[in-house]
Each structure stands twice: as C-alpha cells, then as structure tokens.
C-alpha cells in the first residue's frame, strides 16, 4: 500500500456523501512511522486503538432516522490505521442509507473497517435508549501536572527521561492532562490526557512531565504519539512492565484512544469518557 497522510482527505475540500460509500475509507500503513522509531519485526507492545463515534445515524426501512453511538476497536498489530477524516466521511455516508436494523449497520462497519485496517475490527453500537449506560470517569494515577517546573522545550526529547537504576524497582501509575500534539497533515491541535503505568526503576517525575509537554508542537497522529511515548520510556527508563493509554478529545464527532502495553496484567483501557471528551 502506498497511501500516505498527505494523500488523505485531510486539509482538502470534500464532498459529503450521504449514501453508503465504503470506498471513502483511507487506510495508512503503520509501519512507516514505526520505522522512524526503529520498530521492525516483533513489536515491543500489544494493544488497541479505541474509537468512539458520537455522530452516527442511518435510516430504517421506513425512512425514519436512527441515531446511535459506536465503539470501534482496532488491534495495534493491524497493518493500517484509518485516517480520521475519511472515517468521518464514511460514517456520514450512512446518513441517508436505509438499513434493516443496527445489526445490519454493525455488520457493514465490521466488514469495511476490517478490510481497510487489514485485521479484525470489533464494533459495538449503543442505541439511544441505552445512552444512560455510557459511563464517564477520569484516568486514575498520581497527577504529574501538580509539579511546578520550568519548561522551555516543546518538541519530544527522549533524552530528558531519567530513572533511578540504583534502588529497588517500584510500581507506579502517573497521569497528565497536558498532552497536546498536532495533526500530522493540517497542524490542528490534538488535546489529550495520558496514563502511564509501569514496574521497574523509578522514573523521575519532573523529567517525565517535561518529556510529555515536549509533544506540544509535535506533528503526528494519535496512535503514533502513543507508540513514541511507549518506545522512548521503554528505551530510556527500562521498565520491566509498561502501559501507556491516551484519551484524546473528539474532532468531527470522533475520539481516538490508543493503548499500548507489554504485560497482560496492566491496566486495561476502560473506555470511560472523561470530562474533556
């Protein structure tokens, strides 16, 4: 596949189709950015990308509009990510499409998204009568943002990360709401909260917060930022166990929440929507 971000619908005028059009999906290979991180062969993590679609609508067979919320889970080892604007255009293509029921919609989404991602994708659709069951909650952990630090760098610098390799290993969970990066193509800001859980040499909290703030002027997609954070911490702080989970605010009715871990007992992503989402 030769799809690259600059060829995607991002930053371009787009016709909004309202009839079912799976060809609108624009997959981008993950490996290009992983090559930048030196990730070849067996990945040092497993995980998922959880997408929540809040603007999902279609017509029933009598032409009456239906609305729902969808949770879409992509495996981190899928060959491709889906460019987010193309995902939005694809979802819009259901707006005037008549379908028998939500299961018919779910089946189409599983089929189309799995084909685009190159791996099995899981889709859960919540109908409006069940909206009250969609809970909210905040990431748990020690808040790094409480630290009163000086910052003068806004590009990722993994070399600032520090850990204490002389004392006994520890287990800790940190959170920060200061994660901000920019869209790889348009430069528009992407706002997020991040949770880092690990076991190993104690990570210096101030250095970790400076490192995270360093994404503030960095251009990369959500999934790529989380993999960069995971890889940099793993290499420079050498934890035996590591999990990184980011909750990004929505754009175009979609939020993207990547989770990467190297141990099966880590904090699994709950998909609780936080206050900023």
pLDDT in tens, 130-183: 999 999 999 999 999 999 999 999 999 999 999 999 999 999 999 999 999 999
Residue 13 above 90 pLDDT?
no
Q: Is 183 a catalytic residue?
A: yes
Please report which confidence band the pLDDT of residue 8 belongs to, taking 50, 70 and 90 as the band edges: low
Q: Is 190 a catalytic residue?
A: yes
Given a contact cutoff of 8 angstroms between Cβ atoms, the answer to whether 185 and 203 are in contact is: no
Instruction: Output 30 or 184, whichever has higher pLDDT.
Output: 30
Q: Which of 49, 112, 183, 232 is catalytic?
A: 183
Q: Which of 190, 225, 237, 255 is catalytic?
A: 190
Residue 267 above 90 pLDDT?
no
Predicted pLDDT at 184: 87
Please report which confidence band the pLDDT of residue 189 belongs to, taking 50, 70 and 90 as the band edges: very high
**101-116 b/e (C-beta count within 10 Å ≥ 16 → b):** ebeebbebbeebbbeb
pLDDT in tens, 22-58: 999 999 999 999 999 999 999 999 999 999 999 999 9
pLDDT in tens, 71-126: 999 999 999 999 999 999 999 999 999 999 999 999 999 999 999 999 999 999 99
SS3 81: strand
- This model's pTM is above 0.85: yes
C-alpha distance across the termini of the chain, in Å? 33
Predicted pLDDT at 268: 72
DSSP annotation string for 136-186: B----SEEGGGS-------S--GGG--EE-SS--EEEEEEEEEEEEE-TTT
């Amino acid at each position: 596949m030769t799809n690259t971000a600059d060829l995607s619908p991002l930053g371009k005028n787009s016709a909004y189709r309202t009839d079912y059009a799976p060809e609108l999906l624009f997959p981008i290979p993950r490996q290009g950015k992983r090559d930048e991180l030196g990730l070849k062969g067996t990945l040092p993590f497993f995980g998922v990308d959880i997408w929540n679609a809040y603007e999902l609508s279609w017509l029933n067979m009598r032409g009456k509009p239906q609305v729902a919320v969808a949770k879409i889970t992509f495996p981190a080892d899928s060959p491709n990510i889906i460019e987010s604007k193309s995902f939005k255009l694809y979802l819009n293509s259901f707006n005037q499409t008549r379908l028998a029921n939500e299961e018919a919609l779910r089946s189409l989404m599983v089929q189309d998204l799995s084909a685009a991602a190159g791996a099995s994708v899981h889709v859960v659709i919540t109908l409006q009568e069940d909206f009250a069951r969609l809970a909210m909650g905040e990431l748990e952990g020690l808040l790094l943002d409480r630290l009163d630090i000086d910052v003068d760098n806004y590009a990722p610098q993994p070399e600032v990360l520090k850990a204490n390799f002389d004392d006994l290993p520890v287990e800790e969970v940190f959170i920060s709401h200061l994660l901000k990066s920019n869209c790889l193509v348009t430069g528009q800001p992407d706002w997020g909260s991040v949770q880092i859980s690990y076991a190993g040499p104690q990570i210096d909290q101030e250095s970790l917060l400076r490192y995270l703030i360093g994404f503030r002027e960095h251009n990369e997609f959500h999934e790529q930022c989380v993999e960069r954070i995971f890889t940099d911490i793993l290499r420079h702080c050498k934890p035996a166990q590591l999990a990184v989970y980011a909750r990004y605010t929505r754009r175009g009715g979609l939020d993207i929440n990547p989770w990467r871990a190297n141990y099966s007992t880590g904090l699994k992503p709950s998909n609780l929507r936080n206050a900023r989402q």
